[in-house]
Amino acid sequence: MKPIRIGCSGWNYADWREVLYPKGCPQRRWLQRYAEAFDTVEVNNTFYRLPSRAAVRGWVEQTPPGFTFAVKSSRYLTHMKRLTDMDRGVERLLERLEPLTGSPKMGPMLWQLPGNFKRDDERLAHALDRLPPGGHAFEFRHESWFCDEVLEALRSHDVALAIGDHPERPWQTHELTAGFTLVRFHYGKRGRRGNYGPSELDDWAGELKRLARRAEVFAYFNNDWEGFAVRNALGMRARLGG
């Protein structure tokens, strides 16, 4: 079985005080504390703004060897430019991320497309041909993308189809299109207010093991409110023997 890495989408959440962060733990130490509990994180704030190189260097320095960062690409590229500015726009992002991309801690980059972005084979091909070196995953949020032609385009570039679990997107498939997959747990169906219930975590633990027979798995809980992501990620780790 291939490795399965479990973490959360981000670490800067006030709701996690006294769930993951002990009382009195200053915010500047949250990433260090997070990395004591998990060996991977999905960086969400890169979606909203370009980080400074100093901040990125701090991420690398504050985490132990073997820790892995998945990085969410900028919404400027995915939501505003809709994959059309894949040259200078990507260069700007990579320039800021260089302290991370130049380290062994860089994991996959996530390209999350907006829900109203319908299938466009030309734009997808344009983007896939211009992706920088490294692992990449695309999360589609419109049903039209889930077809054989799109999956084959991803496979031909060794790009993963991100699996986004949300009750509003029941058409999401669990296809493997690369040597790894990225699973994003957005909103539980059986718990309260988006929490994942015990039986739901049991089912997903089985599915992650199935996926790991053929691909390395990066799985992140994005239901950050009320500390659900932390508890669900720890619960998943326990189910997988971690």
The torsion angle over the Cα atoms of residues 175, 43, 102 and 139, rounded to 10 degrees, is 20
Q: Give residues with Cβ within 8 angstroms of 85, minimum separation 6.
A: 76, 77
Burial class from Cβ neighbours inside 10 Å (0-12, 13-18, 19+) for residue 148 reads: exposed
Q: Are 51 and 58 a contacting pair, CB within 8 Å?
A: no
What's the pLDDT tens digit per position in 107-140? 999 999 999 999 999 999 999 999 999 999 999 9
**pLDDT surpasses 80 at 242:** no
Instruction: Report, as an integer, the average pLDDT of 215-234.
Output: 98
Task: Report the distance separating Cα 110 and Cα 164, nearest Å.
Answer: 11
Task: Report the distance separating Cα 221 and Cα 183, nearest Å.
Answer: 9
Q: Identify which of 34, 56, 37 has the alpha carbon closest to the alpha carbon of residue 45.
A: 56
Instruction: Report, as an integer, the average pLDDT of 133-154.
Output: 98
What's the pLDDT tens digit per position in 172-216? 999 999 999 999 999 999 989 999 999 999 999 999 999 999 999
Helices (H), the chain: 30-37, 53-61, 75, 88-101, 121-129, 148-156, 198-212, 228-239
Instruction: Report, as an integer, the average pLDDT of 162-181.
Output: 97
Is the pTM of the predicted complex or chain greater than 0.95?
yes
